[in-house]
Amino acid sequence: MTRHMTSEAYCDCYEYHGSTQIEHTRTQAGETVWRDWLIFDTVEEAADYFNAACVD
């Protein structure tokens, strides 16, 4: 699953594929500013975070 959250200054992209990691990428003017991995102890924690915090 991928979710994009956009503001006037940047675009955040969260990618989650059912594991314990969520990839968070921030782009600005079409270029990647930074990329980070959010790592959780369980799949349930990762899914809950993605479904609660990564909403448009």
User: pLDDT per residue over 16-56, tens digit each?
Assistant: 999 999 999 999 988 999 999 999 999 999 999 998 877 75
Q: How far apart are CA 31 and CA 43, in angstroms?
A: 30
Query: pLDDT at position 44, please?
Result: 96
**CB contact at 8 A, 27 and 45:** no
Query: pLDDT at position 47, please?
Result: 93
Q: What is the pTM of this model?
A: 0.79
Q: How far apart are CA 10 and CA 8, in angstroms?
A: 6
Query: pLDDT at position 31, please?
Result: 93
Is 1 a residue whose pLDDT tops 80?
no
Query: pLDDT at position 54, please?
Result: 72
